[in-house]
Amino acid sequence: MAGGGGPEGQQEKKAAAEGYAYEKDPRWADYWSNVLIPQQHAGRPDVQRHFQLKFYQRYIDPELDVEPLSKTSSASQPSQPSQPSASTRQRPTGSQARATGSGMPRRPSPASAPSGTLRLDQKSFQFLNNAWVVVMAALAIFPLTPAGLSSRAYRFALLGSVIACAHSLYQQHQRPRTWNMQGLQAWMQSIVPSPDFLSFLFSTIFFSSFVPVRFAVIPVLCRSLEQVATFLRQNFSSTQLFKKYLEQPCVMLLNNMTAVRTMSTNAEIFIGFLLIFLFLTPQRNIVQALIYWQLLKLEYRAPSTSFYHQSTWAKIGSVVNPLIRQYARFLERPLGYARNWFLN
């Protein structure tokens, strides 16, 4: 015994711990919400009782001795007469052993691993990648970020977006069924209209450019924010941390996705005009500008982005066309050629 005053003293301490009003202690709710344990075990009374004793030992009486979870749970499990007596003892899972800190040897087997254990599956990898993009993009566009850090964050945000989009495309479309011309053409026709492919092209264009365009992180940030908010609501909506800090921002963001996508579209079109204005500076890149305007043409027709791009171009035309007709009629013909090239 570790300073418990003998078995009788430990029984009195355990009785006091079991009679403690945990529901009235706000620390218990935070403690229980942060316990990493499989969901199918969280509702068991013996598991909850064990962690209540651990809570009492930590915050109320450090001299209380708490038995490992394996002993308390095996005593509360009903025995099975058809099995040997040794088989009724249940070994703790890996997450239970970590939570109790009992120091007992763990022997996990891949076949018997519970479905609620933490693992880096494809969706979790995609979430971590998008979260990385959000952090890097925020650092890149934050005005007070040092120039060196902002430049690196700009590159890391675009690189993370390239990886996230490529991973999402592979998840949805896999590889071409056949590697001949017909198979590649059918595969390309299936992925070209997808928003992930358009975002992949966008991120690749600016990541491969030597001249940074800071506004390029805005569409990347908008896409990753949507992905992160969706993942959090689907997988962490029942956690205390999400309800306290993240639920309202995620709901607000997802309820205003039309405005977010419109802002992303405005940034993409603005970047197109910015690349044209850069022709007058030493930072001009004609090849990048031509490739990017081909991407804008593709986004104007793609089902996932056509609504936002066509609406934005219509608003631009309603403002610019009257001004050109009134003050610069000599620009009507070259702009007409440019409009025909863009729409055809």
Residue 262's pLDDT band (boundaries 50, 70, 90)?
very high
pLDDT digits (tens, 9 = 90+) for 38-53: 666 767 788 888 888 8
Higher-confidence residue: 63 or 140? 140
Does residue 312 belong to any structural domain of this protein?
no
Domain that holds residue 24: 1-73
Q: What span, in angstroms and rounded, lies between the C-alpha atoms of 177 and 105?
A: 47
Average pLDDT for residues 128-138, to the nearest whole number?
95
Last residue within a domain, chosen from 57, 73, 89:
73
Angle between helices 257-277 and 247-255 (to 10 degrees): 70
Does residue 159 belong to any structural domain of this protein?
yes
Domain count along the chain: 2
Q: What span, in angstroms and rounded, lies between the C-alpha atoms of 220 and 271?
A: 13
Residue 194's pLDDT band (boundaries 50, 70, 90)?
confident
Same domain, 237 and 139: yes
pLDDT digits (tens, 9 = 90+) for 145-166: 999 999 999 999 999 999 999 9
Torsion of CA 49, 3, 60, 35, to 10 degrees: -40
Same domain, 166 and 272: yes
Structure tokens at 1: 């015994």
Last residue within a domain, chosen from 40, 58, 73:
73
- Is residue 20 predicted with pLDDT exceeding 70? yes
Higher-confidence residue: 86 or 145? 145
Q: What span, in angstroms and rounded, lies between the C-alpha atoms of 126 and 145?
A: 26
Does residue 156 belong to any structural domain of this protein?
yes
**C-alpha distances out from residue 18 to 26, 32, 34, 248, Å:** 17, 16, 21, 36
Q: What span, in angstroms and rounded, lies between the C-alpha atoms of 69 and 277?
A: 68
- Is residue 199 predicted with pLDDT exceeding 50? yes
Same domain, 174 and 271: yes
Same domain, 173 and 275: yes
Same domain, 136 and 248: yes
Does residue 179 belong to any structural domain of this protein?
yes
Q: Are residues 168 and 196 in contact, defined by beta-carbon separation less than 8 angstroms?
A: yes
Does residue 89 belong to any structural domain of this protein?
no
Mean pLDDT, rounded, of the chain = 82
- Is residue 178 predicted with pLDDT exceeding 50? yes
Q: What span, in angstroms and rounded, lies between the C-alpha atoms of 169 and 174?
A: 7
pTM of the full structure? 0.63
Does residue 160 belong to any structural domain of this protein?
yes
Same domain, 268 and 142: yes
Residue 61's pLDDT band (boundaries 50, 70, 90)?
confident
Does residue 339 belong to any structural domain of this protein?
no
